[in-house]
Amino acid sequence: MIEKKKLVFTTNLKFYKKKNINNVNVFKSFENKHIFFCEGLILLKKIRNKFKLSYFDENNELFNYINHSVYIGSFKKKNIYAHNISKKKTASNLDQIDFFKNKIKKEDLSEIFFCDLRKVFLDLSIKDSYIAGVGKSIINWKVENSFCPKCGEKFLCNDFKWENKCINCKKITFARVNPVVIIIIINGKKTLLGRSYHFPDKLYSCLAGFVEPGETLEMAAIREIKEEVGIKITNIKYITNQPWPFPSSLMFGLMAKTTNKNLKIDKNEIEHAFWITKSKLKKILNSKTDKISAARKGTIARYLLENWVNNKI
């Protein structure tokens, strides 16, 4: 039985997304909650060493700089919105972030700051990570897709919907979700750990890659592993899945077996990979060694590794 509570984004919260929340009067309700993004960064606050979302009401000056909005859903009868803010070109010589930092200082909001969501994502509560993750995915897509791909008309940004509808040709465009396979590979009593060049120091994880057009999950897994470490995998099984908003992915956790031990690492794909036993991996997962660290708690890779070590998969 998969323990879904351990996966980021998986939640039993009564959280609903409504399709018809485009009424301006509803948007201006004092009971609403609003989060803000700028240049891909999110506004957070830190209280007693815990990161939390910063919610704003309509009286805040930031509402004068909104250029994209989306309705996330309702929670405990409160509607939650995500917004992207951008200063007008003539507003200041400062860059976007510095400009809004000054606005925050003037309002004496010293505990609030801009942050790269990836760095603190797994430190947020499940509820906050869900809201922030969905908000980031949709807002980023809105910012990067401002014009109709069919006729070139600029999209209107005032209906709070997840999709874009062109007022000229009526084409409806939906946000893209990128499927990714992440595979725990078993060779007897060992599994394979690897690291990409963009990983933090000492961090190792399961190997992963995007699914390409025309591929099944199994085909993508076979291709990725062959490309990255030069081995053939078989007995591929689906384990679980997890949304991941970096950039906007749906991760499919798989388990596979191999009889190949000799790795042919493609340095253009990954930096390093090696086989490790359960006993040594358990020490890493329990932070009993400082030489390397495993995938962070809350990630699908961590879930796969912990369940293999504990003989649950």
Neighbouring-strand partners of residue 154:
147
Q: Does pTM surpass 0.85?
A: no
pLDDT tens series, the chain, 313 aa = 233 333 444 444 444 454 444 444 455 555 789 999 999 999 999 888 889 999 987 778 888 899 999 999 888 778 899 999 998 776 667 789 999 988 888 776 778 999 999 989 888 988 899 999 999 999 999 999 989 999 999 988 767 889 999 999 999 999 999 999 999 999 999 999 999 998 888 999 999 999 999 999 999 999 999 999 999 999 999 999 999 998 899 999 999 999 999 999 999 999 999 999 999 999 999 887 778 889 888 899 999 999 999 999 9
Superfamily of domain 178-309: Nucleoside Triphosphate Pyrophosphohydrolase (3.90.79.10)
Domain boundaries of the chain, sorted by first residue: 4-173, 178-309
Q: Which tokens in the block code for residue 260?
A: 């190949």
How confident is the model at residue 177, as a pLDDT?
93
CA 80 to chain centre: 18
Crossing angle of helices 300-309/278-285, nearest 10°? 130
- Beta carbons within 8 Å of 89's beta carbon, 6+ residues apart: none
Q: What is the CA radius of gyration of the chain?
A: 22
How confident is the model at residue 296, as a pLDDT?
86
How confident is the model at residue 214, as a pLDDT?
96
